[in-house]
Structure 1
Amino acid sequence: MSTGTFAPAPGAAPLPRQVLAQTAMEARLMLRNGEQLLIAVVIPIVVLVGAVRAAEHIDLGVSGRAVDVLSPGVLALAVMSTSFTSLAIATGFERRYGVLKRLGTAPLSRSTLLAGKVGALLVVEVIQFVVIGSVALALGWSPDVSVTGLLLAALLGTGAFASLGMLLAGSLRAEATLAAANLVYLLLLAGGAVILPASAYGGLGDLVAWLPSGALGEAMRDACAGTVAWRDLAVLLGWALAGSALTARTFKWE
């Protein structure tokens, strides 16, 4: 073959390049979606401001300053809303409209798709933490952050909820995914120890602490108090591994 002749080299790109490309595409799609940004940023901020103001008139059953307890919980809520609710709904409708079917014809495995979506979630969560953290600081929040604890809580919480969101989106119809994701979100918001600590739930505290929402909330609160909640991080790791294994086995492209 002469020099300069076009010689195609068919084959899949290296795995890291696939993940980065998928992450970039997913992040662009999420940041362009107004509904997802509403769930990701606006709702947590409304919850934070409303709960801090309400704590001035209502006993929420927490020790310490309300803003110091509620702010880490709202950061945990932001992780849950983005990595579970938004992801499940978006993926469910991508599956319905054939987007995932077309991705399935590319050399993109279920694990690579999940990794790309998780990477995009982390990009969005950085924005969430900056915006919500700024609002919390304006309300008087004074954290003593353990960077290690915060990073591990965000990473493992994202992994746990993303795997569960993909499990939901890959096994139900889009409309059922929409209903189920919102229902689970509201149930965990109200009774999953994500915003309020598990101790505020009385006898149910020991139970809800084993939920991914409770473990994430406790890990985030400890991280913002300067410690690392190894037990809660281990619970999140367990949920992430179990959810990923089930998703890899059951996820359907169409």
Structure 2
Amino acid sequence: MTGGTETTALEYRSEPRARERRTPSIGRVAAARAGIELRSYFRNRQAVVFTFALPLVLLLIFGAIYSGNAPGTHTPMKQVLIAGIIASGIMSTTFSSLAVAIAVERDDGTLRRLAATPMSPVSYFLGKVVQAFVIGVLETVVLLAVGVGLFGLHLPDTGARWFTFVWVVVLGIVACSFLGIAYSRVAPNARAAAPVVQLPYLGLQLISGVFFVFTSLPGFMQVIAGCFPLKWMAQGLRSAFLSDSFQQSEAAGSWEHGRTALVLGGWCLAGLLLSLATFKWGRARK
């Protein structure tokens, strides 16, 4: 009798452990969610077209406007522009797209439905980051192809430059993705999401050396831009594409690779912490 009772008690205590073992890991849930996100994205043809078209249109417009070399250098302005446009394109596919998408999902009840599943916020974040990473890489490849084909962009010519290109792109995608997730909470509803998100995105483009030589901007704009990832992404990409002589035109007179990595890495961590602190499955207050 006692033995049977002890066995039953042991079985009862082991049930939560068994259920815990059956709970999918954060990584597995994130991978599954990333697959769903990507399939959903590529089924939306309008989203695909507009996501890839915006940086391409900007590249074509400003590439046609600019001729000659960047002021005080022997570097074609078009090549300076391409580095900035790639950085801007990465921010568009990460920060802007994710902030708007999450605001819409919160408003239409998608997040409430996901809250009833084993998915944790971290798994949801990672699924979004993987989606943004794939799209960001594809867009970067397209911009590189157009830059080489139409504007004579010189691709990185050494392993070190390619390495710089890769880590700037990776850190930039992760940092801007987490910032987009965190910033989605600012939008009160789906209708307001696009204008609320586009304001900081457009503002940072204008002051971060995307369309203009960074040092030609007023000092206070340079200070503000230096607080955010886009300026450092653009500068890091310029260091991969342009000759070392152009670094004299940067604010510090050098490429500042260490500082670029520190700022972008810092924003990866800060963005994750902000996302965890601000994310809620329910709607934002009206």
Same fold by TM (over 0.5)?
A: yes
Q: Does 1:65 align with 2:81?
A: no
Deviation at 1:236, TM superposition (A): 1.3
Match in the other structure for 1:46: 57
Q: Does 1:209 align with 2:226?
A: yes
Q: Does 1:153 align with 2:168?
A: yes
Q: What RMSD over aligned residues (CA atoms) do the two structures have, in Å?
A: 2.3
CA contact 1:77–1:195 (8 Å) conserved in 2? no
SS at match of 1:170: helix
Match in the other structure for 1:163: 178
Higher alpha-carbon Rg: 2
Q: Unpaired runs of 5+ in structure 2?
A: 1-17, 244-254
CA contact 2:67–2:76 (8 Å) conserved in 1? no
What letter is aligned with 1:198?
F
Q: 1:20 to 1:62 in 2, by over 3 A?
A: farther
Q: Does 1:231 align with 2:248?
A: no
CA contact 1:159–1:240 (8 Å) conserved in 2? yes
Match in the other structure for 1:6: none
Match in the other structure for 2:237: 220
| 1:184-227: CA deviation from partner (whole Å, max 9, x where unpaired) | 12111222333444223242334423321111111121133488
Q: 1:88 aligns with which of 73, 94, 99?
A: 99
**How many residues were matched structurally?**
245
Moved over 4 A (4+): 59-62
Q: 1:202 to 1:61 in 2, by over 3 A?
A: farther
Match in the other structure for 1:30: 41
Distance in 2 (CA, whole Å) between partners of 1:170 and 1:202 is 31
Q: Does 1:141 align with 2:153?
A: yes
Distance in 2 (CA, whole Å) between partners of 1:38 and 1:60 is 31
SS at match of 2:24: coil
Deviation at 1:233, TM superposition (A): 2.0
| 1:5-30: CA deviation from partner (whole Å, max 9, x where unpaired) | xxxx7532122211211111111222
| 1:16-67: CA deviation from partner (whole Å, max 9, x where unpaired) | 211211111111222223443244211111111111111128x864731122
Distance in 2 (CA, whole Å) between partners of 1:229 and 1:201 is 21
Match in the other structure for 1:104: 115
Q: Unpaired runs of 5+ in structure 1?
A: 1-8
What letter is aligned with 2:146?
V
Distance in 1 (CA, whole Å) between partners of 2:71 and 2:261 is 25
What letter is aligned with 2:153?
W
Distance in 2 (CA, whole Å) between partners of 1:201 and 1:192 is 9
